[in-house]
Amino acid sequence: MSKESNSGIPSDNEVILGILNNSESVLKRLYLAYFPMVLQLIINNNGNTDDAKDIYQEAIIILYNKVKTGNFELSSKLKTYIYSICRRLWLKRLSQMNKYGGDIKDFQEYLAVDDETEKNNERDLQFNKMGNALQLLGEPCKTIIEDFYINNRSMQEICENFGYTNADNAKTQKYKCLQRLKKLFFQQK
């Protein structure tokens, strides 16, 4: 990779490859490249900088998930795509806050991207549910589950961290924790 491509606006292909490879630097460059555009959209349409951050990050996560699931086909410039998603999300947010006056000031061209934000809603819901369930689960279960399933730690390590006398105890504990988490997760509406 040339030195030049490590700074400035990354090309669309670079971004997609970068996301697939979990590249930190590409993500950073992507983020820096388009944030001003979104900030401009939102602060000039009744929003503040925190709204811009929220909306932009949501859009990046949508893009990220879409690329990761492997069915991402870019039908326009990435810039237009991100702008369209942010625009759509912001319109939704405005009407939720009853601030939508019927017109929005645009700074870029955009596409219709309804169903993608809808799909993301589903994911958001599950994300929030899981977050709540983990909060309700409490310690030490939360950490055990996180360590094992998210951080991919081995049972041996977990056993040492929590001072269990043998791995079987830890496993029983983990099993109980998982059952409770499932219950908490599915109980939520």
Partner 1 sequence: MSDNQLLEVIEHYINGEMSNDERARFEILRNENPDVNNLVNEHKHFTGLIKQYGERLELEKRLDAIHDEIDVYTLKEELMIHPSWIVQLWRTHHSKISVAASIAIFAVLCTMFFTGYLNNREINYVKLRGEVTQLKRKTDLLNNKFNNLNSPVKKNNNPGKFRGTGFAISSNGYIVTDYHVINNADSVYVQSADGKSYRTKVIYSEPQTDIAILEINDPSFKGLGAIPYDFKKSESDIGENVFTIGYPRDVMVLGPGFLTASSGFNGDTTQYQVSTPVDFGNSGGPLLDSKGNIIGIINARETHMVGAAFAVKSNYLLKTIQDIPADSLKETLSLNNKNVLAGLSRVQQIKKLQNYVFMVRVYNQ
By the criterion CB under 8 A, which residues form the site for partner 1? Answer: 24, 27-28, 31-32, 35-36, 39-40, 43-44, 49, 52-53, 57, 60-61, 64, 105, 123, 126-127, 130-131, 134, 145-146, 149-151, 171-172, 175, 178, 181-182, 185
Q: Are 134 and 177 in contact (CB under 8 A)?
A: no
Least distance (Å) between residue 44 CB and partner 1: 5
Closest to 79 in 3D by CA, of 37, 22, 132: 37
Phi-psi sector, 8: left (phi>0), alpha (psi -120 to 50), beta: left
Based on CB atoms, which residue is closest to partner 1, 51 or 81?
51
Based on CB atoms, which residue is closest to partner 1, 53 or 92?
53
Closest to 119 in 3D by CA, of 63, 80, 179, 189: 63
Nearest-angstrom CA–CA distance, 52 and 39: 5
Least distance (Å) between residue 17 CB and partner 1: 17
Based on CB atoms, which residue is closest to partner 1, 71 or 75?
71
Least distance (Å) between residue 105 CB and partner 1: 8
Nearest-angstrom CA–CA distance, 2 and 4: 5
